[in-house]
Structure 1
Amino acid sequence: MTNFLQASQNQEQLNCQTYQKTDIKAGVIHLGVGAFHRAHQAVFFDRLLGHPSQAHWGIIGVNIRPQDSHYFEHLMAQDGEYILKTISAAGKTEYDHIRSLIRQIDGSKTPEQVDDAMMDPSIQLVTSTVTEGGYYLDENHQLMLDHPEIKADLSGKRHTLYAFLYSGLKRRSQTSAGKITLLCCDNLRHNGLLLKTGLMQFVQAMQDTQLATWLEENASFPCSMVDRITPKPSSLHMDDVNARFGLNDTMTVMGEDFIQWVVEDNFAGEKPPLETVGVQVVENVEPFEEAKIRILNAGHTCITYQAALKGLTYFDQAMKDTQLSQYFSDFIEQDVIPALGESVVDLPSYANTIAERFSNDNIGDTIERICSDGYAKFPVFVFPTLLASYQNGHTPNQTLKGIASWYCFLQAVKKEQIAFTYHEPSIAELSRFSDDQKGVEAFVSHPFLWGEVIEKHPQFKEDLTKAIMDFNQSLA
C-alpha cells in the first residue's frame, strides 16, 4: 500500500497521524494479528507513534496459524496498513488510516524470522491475541500436555503461542538482549497469570531449566483488560472505504466508538507511555476485568443463545427485543451486580453503557459469531456470578436461564433447527449432552463447566435442571 494516502480522493475525511513511517522503529511484537488487534492495540500504538519522541514503538505483526495465512497475505500486500471505520450508536462515522504495523511476518511459514525479531534488544514488549482456546489450559490451569498440538510443539513443531515464545525467548536469553514484557491481550480473567502459567509449564515440559530461570528474572506478565466490539470484517465497510477514498483496501476493519484498555503497571523493561493516548495503567486490573467479563461478556453469552433460538441475526436485534432487553436488565440487576459487590467501577452506570453499546445497530455483530465457542466461554464469563450468588445464599435465576438456553440451543443445533453453523472447537465434548434425562444430568454435572458449584452447592443441579425444563416449555 505504497502511496496509500496519495490515492485518497477525500483526504480531509481520513484521519492520519503525522509521523513518517520510515522514521518508525519496532519496539513491539504482536502474535495473532486478527481484526480485534487491528481495531484495538494497533490503534493505541498508532496514536503513540504520533508523539515525536515515541517513534520506537512500531509493531511487528506476526501470524502463527497456517489457516490465517491467506488473510495475512492481504495485510502484507498492504504493508500492514488499513482503514479503521468507527461508528457510534448515533451513527457518527470516522475513518482512520492505521500504520503502526510497520512489519509483518507469517510465522507459520518463516518461524525463524519471529525468533530473529524476538532476540532484537529494541523489542521491549510481546503482546498476544490468540483467543481463549489458544492457551490449552484445563479447568485446573494445567497445560494440556496430551493435546496433539502441544505434543507436536514439544517435539519441535510450531503450532501454538508457547512454541513461538519458547523459541524466540530462548534465543533472546542466549544473546543477553535484555528484559522483556509479555502482555496478554486476550479476553481471559487474570490473563497475564494464565500466560505465565502456560508458558512456564511448557518450558518445564521442555526440561529447559535455564530458560525457566531466565524468564523468572527477566520477564514480566502484566494482566490487562481489553474492550471494543469488533465485528468480523465485512465487504460492506470495505466497499464504503474504497468508494469514498478511491482505494483498494481489502483489510478495512470496523469497530464501535467505545475503546478501553486497562493494563497492570508491571513492565520488565522499558514501559511505553500508553497512558498518554488513553490507556489506563493501574496497580490492579481485577475490578475493571471483573466488571467487563461479568457484565459485557456474560451478558453477550447469556443472551445470544436465546436470540439464536428466536431466529435473530444480529445482536442489536436482541437488545431491541422486549423480552431479551428485560432479561439483560434483570440478569445484571438481580444476579451480576449483587455477586460483584463493592467495586471501584460504577457498576450501574457501566451496565447502562454496555446496554447502549449492545444496541448499536451500526455494528452488525452477529449472533452466529457470539454463539461460537460456548464451551470455553461459560466457565470464564458466567461461572463467577453463578458461584458468588450461591455463596451469598442467592439463587441466580437469570443466570440459570442463560445457561439453560445454551443447553436448548445445543439440542436445536443437533436437530438442524439453527440457521447458521455453530462454531465450537469442543463439539465432541458436548456430544454427551443428549436431549433426554441422561443428557441433562451430564450437562448439570459437568465438572469443567460447573466444578466448584456442584461440589459446594448441591442444589445447583436441581435448580439448573428446573431452568432447562422451564426454558424448554417456553419454546413449545
Structure 2
Amino acid sequence: MTTTTLPRLSAATAERTARPITVLQFGGGNFLRAFVDQMIHAANTAGVMNAGVAVVHATPGPDRALELLEEQDGLYHVLLEGVRDGEPVREFTRVDVIQRIVRSHEQFDAYRELYLSPELEVIVSNTTEAGIAWVEGDDVAAQPPASFPAKITALLHDRFVAFGGAASAGLRIVCCELIEDNATTLREYVLRHARAAGYGAEFERWVLEANSFHDTLVDRIVPGYPRDEIADIQAEIGFADDVVVKGEYFGVWAIGGDPVVQQVLPLDRAGQPVQFMTDIRPFRAKKVKILNGLHTAMAAVGLQLGCESVREAFERPDVRAYLDALLEDEVLPSISEPREELRTFAAKIVERFGNPYLHHRLADIALNSVSKWGARNLPVLLSAFKDGREAPRTAFAAAALLTLYVRGPEGFEPHDDAAVVAAIREAFDPADVPAWVRASIAAAGWVTDCDGCRDRLADEVATHAARILEVGVEQALTELPV
C-alpha cells in the first residue's frame, strides 16, 4: 500500500460516468482490466458504446486485488508502453467502465440480479486455462455451481426461464482463456451439463439459437502492478492508485463466430486492435507461426548467446539478421496469404521485440520448448519440404533447442516434460550426433506426415547440431545462408 499524500483514487476524487451494465465479466485480473476493459473504455469515450461492466469474482474466498478495486469504486489506471511506427510510446488511461464488483459465492442474490438484467448483452471471461473444464457431478442447482461451465449453464437456464425463452434474452459469450476453441469448448460443456440436469431440448435449442459463443485469440503482454516504479507512476498520474496495471502497447483481439457480436462490441470502430472473423483458426495459425515461432527460435539461440531478454537478443545484429531471414524466407512462404499483407502483419509483431519498456525473459519463453517447437516451427519446416523449398534456419532452431538442453549456459535448466528432457540427455552422444538427434526427435514426438520428411528433418537438424557443438551458436549463425 502507498503512503503518499496524493488523493486516493475513487469516485469522490475523480469523475466516473454511470453507465448501464451490459457486460458481465468473469474475472477482474490484470489482463482483462488492461485489455478488454481498457478497450471498452476507449469505445465509450469515442461514443460508439455506452457500456458498463460488472466484475464477477467467480471463486469462493477473498481476492485482495478486487477488494482494492472496490475501494477505488472500480476506477484504476492502465499504463501501456511499447513501440508505434518505430517510436517509443507511453500512454496512461484512467478506466471508469467497472460499475460493480460482485462475489458470486458470497453475494449470490446480487450476482443473480445482474445476470437476469434485461440490459445485459455480453459475457466476457478469463477464468485461466483451467477454468473451462468439465467437472463431473457439479451441481447446476447450487447457488452458484462450482465450475465456470456449470455456472454459465445455470445462469443461462435461469435467464431462459425468467424471460420465457425469448430469443431477445440471449447473450454473446466471449471467452479470453488461453486455450484453442475456448468458447466452443464452453458451449459443449454447457450443453453437456444441461443434458445431465434434464433441462430439455427446448432449452438446448435456445442456447444454440438465441445465444452465441465466440472463440477468441488474445495477445497483449500484461506484467501487472508495477510495484518497482509505483511511486513515480502515482506522482505522474496525481492519484494514489493501488491497482494500476501496466501492459504492452501492442494488442490483438481476434473474435470469431456470429457477426452479431460486432453490434454489441464495436471496439474496432474506436480504433482498438480488434478483428472480427467467422473462423479464427487461420488467424491463430498465422500468429503462432510468426510471433510464437520466432519467439521459440529466438529463445533457443539467444540463451546460448548469453542474452537474458527478447530485446537484448533482438538488438544483436546476428540474431536480428537470423530472425529477419527466418521470417521472410521460411515462415511467410508457409502461409497462404498475400505476401504484402503478411509483411504488414509481421512488421507489427516484430516491432514488439524492440519494446524498450518490456523485459520479456527468454527463459520464460523457453518453458516447454519441445512441444512449442513441434507446434510452432515444425509446420514451417514441413511446408518447405513439401513445396521443394529449403528451411535451414528453422532446422537450426531445432538444433539450437536440442543443444541448449544438453549443453546450455551455466545456470540454465530446462523446464519441460521431465521424461522428454531425460531422454534427450540420456541419448546424447557427441561422437554420434545423428543418432542422438534421431532419438531426440522420437522422444519429442515431432511427427511428420510425408514420405522421407522424418529422415530429412533428422539429417538437417543433426548437421546444424554438430556444428553448434563444434564451434558454438555464434559462429554457426554466421555460416547460415544469407
Q: TM-score, normalised by structure 1?
A: 0.76
Alignment partner, residue 437 of structure 1? 427
Alignment partner, residue 76 of structure 1? 70
Alignment partner, residue 104 of structure 1? 101
How many angstroms does 1:266 deviate by?
A: 1.5
Alignment partner, residue 172 of structure 2? 181
In structure 2, do the counterparts of structure 1 residues 344 and 309 end up closer, same or farther at CA, with 3 Å as the change threshold? closer
Alignment partner, residue 317 of structure 1? 312
Alignment partner, residue 225 of structure 2? 233
Q: Structure 1 CA distance, aligned partners of 2:197 and 2:340?
A: 42
SS state at 1:348 partner: helix
2:155 is the alignment partner of 1:164? no
How many angstroms does 1:45 deviate by?
A: 0.5
Q: Structure 2 CA distance, aligned partners of 1:395 and 1:418?
A: 31
Q: Structure 1 CA distance, aligned partners of 2:372 and 2:310?
A: 17
Alignment partner, residue 348 of structure 2? 353
Q: Structure 2 CA distance, aligned partners of 1:412 and 1:110?
A: 55
Alignment partner, residue 117 of structure 1? 114
In structure 2, do the counterparts of structure 1 residues 372 and 282 end up closer, same or farther at CA, with 3 Å as the change threshold? same
Q: Write out per-residue CA displacement over residues 266-303 of structure 1, whole angstroms, 9 at most, x where no aligned residue.
A: 25676233232124444554554443332122222332
Q: Residues 211-230 of structure 1: matches in 2 within 5 Å?
A: 212-230=204-222
Q: 1:260 aligns with which of 252, 255, 259?
A: 252
Q: Residues 330-349 of structure 1: matches in 2 within 5 Å?
A: 330-343=325-338, 346-349=341-344
In structure 2, do the counterparts of structure 1 residues 248 and 402 end up closer, same or farther at CA, with 3 Å as the change threshold? farther
Q: Residues 445-456 of structure 1: matches in 2 within 5 Å?
A: 445=442, 450-451=446-447, 453=449
Unaligned runs of 5+ in 2: 1-6, 429-435, 475-482
Q: Structure 2 CA distance, aligned partners of 1:375 and 1:162?
A: 31
- Contact 2:79–2:244 (CA<8 Å) still a contact in 1? yes
Q: Residues 22-421 of structure 1: matches in 2 within 5 Å?
A: 23-50=18-45, 54-55=49-50, 57-64=51-58, 69-89=63-83, 90-107=87-104, 114=111, 117-132=114-129, 134-135=131-132, 150-151=135-136, 153=138, 160-176=147-163, 178-186=169-177, 191-197=182-188, 199-200=190-191, 210=201, 212-264=204-256, 266=258, 271-278=264-271, 279-283=274-278, 285=280, 288-343=283-338, 346-372=341-367, 374=369, 377-378=372-373, 381-382=376-377, 384-394=379-389, 396-409=391-404, 417-418=411-412
After superposition, the CA RMSD in angstroms is: 4.2
Q: 1:459 aligns with which of 442, 455, 458?
A: 455
Question: Amino acid of the residue matched to residue 459 of structure 1?
Answer: D
Q: Structure 2 CA distance, aligned partners of 1:107 and 1:369?
A: 34
Q: Write out per-residue CA displacement over residues 202-247 of structure 1, whole angstroms, 9 at most, x where no aligned residue.
A: 6567776645433222221234343333334332342322122342
Q: Write out per-residue CA displacement over residues 113-156 of structure 1, whole angstroms, 9 at most, x where no aligned residue.
A: 655533433221112234556545xxxxxxxx6xxxx4475898
Q: Write out per-residue CA displacement over residues 325-384 of structure 1, whole angstroms, 9 at most, x where no aligned residue.
A: 223212212221011032487112332332222111112233344344657755654454
In structure 2, do the counterparts of structure 1 residues 284 and 331 end up closer, same or farther at CA, with 3 Å as the change threshold? same
- Contact 1:79–1:102 (CA<8 Å) still a contact in 2? yes
- Contact 1:64–1:107 (CA<8 Å) still a contact in 2? yes
How many angstroms does 1:405 deviate by?
A: 4.2
Q: Structure 2 CA distance, aligned partners of 1:430 and 1:154?
A: 39
Q: Structure 2 CA distance, aligned partners of 1:91 and 1:375?
A: 34
Q: Structure 2 CA distance, aligned partners of 1:472 and 1:113?
A: 63
Identity %: 20
- Contact 2:222–2:247 (CA<8 Å) still a contact in 1? yes
Q: TM-score, normalised by structure 2?
A: 0.75
Question: Amino acid of the residue matched to residue 269 of structure 2?
Answer: T
In structure 2, do the counterparts of structure 1 residues 127 and 72 end up closer, same or farther at CA, with 3 Å as the change threshold? same
Q: Structure 1 CA distance, aligned partners of 2:67 and 2:403?
A: 40
Q: Structure 2 CA distance, aligned partners of 1:68 and 1:305?
A: 40
Q: Structure 2 CA distance, aligned partners of 1:227 and 1:53?
A: 23
- Contact 2:385–2:453 (CA<8 Å) still a contact in 1? yes
How many angstroms does 1:47 deviate by?
A: 1.7
How many angstroms does 1:183 deviate by?
A: 1.4
Q: Residues 7-18 of structure 1: matches in 2 within 5 Å?
A: none
Question: Amino acid of the residue matched to residue 319 of structure 2?
Answer: L
In structure 2, do the counterparts of structure 1 residues 471 and 393 end up closer, same or farther at CA, with 3 Å as the change threshold? same
The number of equivalent residue pairs is 446
In structure 2, do the counterparts of structure 1 residues 450 and 183 end up closer, same or farther at CA, with 3 Å as the change threshold? farther
In structure 2, do the counterparts of structure 1 residues 84 and 112 end up closer, same or farther at CA, with 3 Å as the change threshold? same
In structure 2, do the counterparts of structure 1 residues 256 and 179 end up closer, same or farther at CA, with 3 Å as the change threshold? same
Q: Which is higher, the Rg of structure 1 or of structure 2?
A: 2
Q: Structure 1 CA distance, aligned partners of 2:116 and 2:28?
A: 20
State which drifts further: 299-308 or 207-216.
207-216
State which drifts further: 322-331 or 199-208.
199-208
- Contact 1:287–1:343 (CA<8 Å) still a contact in 2? no
Q: Structure 2 CA distance, aligned partners of 1:102 and 1:186?
A: 23
In structure 2, do the counterparts of structure 1 residues 339 and 436 end up closer, same or farther at CA, with 3 Å as the change threshold? same
Question: Amino acid of the residue matched to residue 59 of structure 1?
Answer: V
Question: Amino acid of the residue matched to residue 246 of structure 2?
Answer: M
Q: Structure 1 CA distance, aligned partners of 2:115 and 2:460?
A: 48
Q: Structure 2 CA distance, aligned partners of 1:469 and 1:73?
A: 56
Q: Write out per-residue CA displacement over residues 58-113 of structure 1, whole angstroms, 9 at most, x where no aligned residue.
A: 12223446799344333333333221112243334221101222222345766776
In structure 2, do the counterparts of structure 1 residues 452 and 239 end up closer, same or farther at CA, with 3 Å as the change threshold? farther
